[in-house]
Structure formats: C-alpha cells, structure tokens
Amino acid sequence: QVQLQESGPGLVRPSGTLSLVCDVSKLSSTYYWVWIRQPPGKGLEWIGCIYQSGDTYYNPSLESRLMISVDRAKNLLSMQLNSVTAADTAVYFCTRRDSGAYGDWFDPWGQGTLVTVSS
Amino acid sequence: DIEMTQSPSSVSASVGDRVTITCQASQGISSWLAWYQQRPGKAPKLLIYGASNLHSGVPSRFSGSGSGTDFTLTISSLQPEDFATYYCQQAKSFPVTFGGGTKVEIK
C-alpha cells in the first residue's frame, strides 16, 4: 500500500511563497497525484493534480499562483503557491487519484500539514 | 464548476440509529461520486466510490446510492467510531468539488 507524507514550513509570511513536498513511497506513473486543502474548521478544496506525462490540472481559483511538479527519481510530489494571503491558511493534503468505470476517487491520503500565513 | 450540496449540515444520533446523508449535484454527474469520512485532526478516508461501491475494508453498515444529481450515504446502525464528518465529492469534471460536509454528532 502506497504511503504519503507531507512536509512544509508551517508558517509563511503574507505575499510569500508556500512550498510543500509530499514523500510518496511508490510514485507510480499510472496515477494522478493530487493536492487538496482544508482551512481550519471548513471543508475540502481541490487544489490540482499532475499526471505521468507532466500534464497538470489546476483549480481555476488558484491557477495563476500555483505550480505542481513531480520528481520521480526522489518519489516527491511538490507544490508552490505564490503571493499567499491569510485565506491560504489551511491543512494541505496530498493524495492519489484512482479511477475506474465508475469515476474517480482519492485514496490513500497523507496525514496533512498545517500551513499558517501570518506576519 | 459543479456545486455539491449536502444536507443536513449536522445530525445528532445515538449508537444503533440509522443515519442518512444526502448530496445533490448542481448538474448531472452520472455515478461519478465518492463519499469520505473525516475524524477530527485526521485525513479523510474513502468510504464509497462510483456512488454505491464500498471501498475495501469499509464496514458493510455503510452504503451509498443514487445517480444523476441526487445521492445518499446511509449508515445502517451507527457505531461509536462513526461519529465524524462526512463529505461527498464529484469527479465528473474539473475542478473536482466537494460538498460542505455533514457532521454526525452524539445525541
């Protein structure tokens, strides 16, 4: 079973860049790898994903500030979000998108990492 | 974007109760719907995919139904470990969207 673990700075200054990595025990090329976030006390927001080809799909609400990449040699999934504000404060999860005849779903998930945007 | 509306936003129930959560999509999504359980401080866990398919290892008291725009998650006999927040998710089109969540609380 693949395992995922996020890591990041914990605290980012407003207008700065939020950079996170997700250590994936087995970064298979046949899946999409996904970032999802959850502001404190709120619901889940899909950030974006990347496929083996390098194709990326971003949430339009974040697209102008976002970059997702994969380092297959190191089994690392990464994301960078620029020009952050307090609204970007959230727990950030990485996960794998699986798919079949009945649609797509996310499993498994990392444990999440809290990023706070504050001066 | 496809909007997912869950109801109720919270429900109080007792161990052994039958609990039903609904999820409505703003446009048809066929059976491209998944359900997740999230306990406080933990990552979401997949329960149901394809609207009605039980994920491996998930107890059979959980079931899902529906297609098109209206979906239901049912817990047939609530257990202490089921007190959590539940989310629906559509993957019919990008961006993927989630419902606002339903918190199942102890009565």
* Mean predicted confidence (pLDDT) in A73-94: 96
Q: What tokens does B19 get?
A: 């609990």
Model pLDDT, residue A52: 75
Contact (CB<8Å) B49/A100: yes
- Does the pLDDT of residue A1 top 90, yes or no? no
- Interface A–B counts its CB contacts (< 8 A) at 72
Confidence check: pLDDT of A102 > 80? no
Give the mean model confidence (pLDDT) for residues B7-28.
97
Is residue A10's pLDDT more than 90?
A: yes
User: Would an 8 Å CB–CB cutoff place A110 in contact with chain B?
Assistant: yes
Q: What pLDDT, on the 0 to 100 scale, is given for residue A100?
A: 83
Nearest neighbour of A43 by CB, restricted to B46, B95, B98: B98
CA–CA separation, A111 and A37 (whole Å): 12
The residues facing A39 across adjacent strands are none
Per-residue pLDDT reduced to its tens digit, B34-92 = 999 999 999 999 999 999 999 999 999 999 999 999 999 999 999 999 999 999 999 89
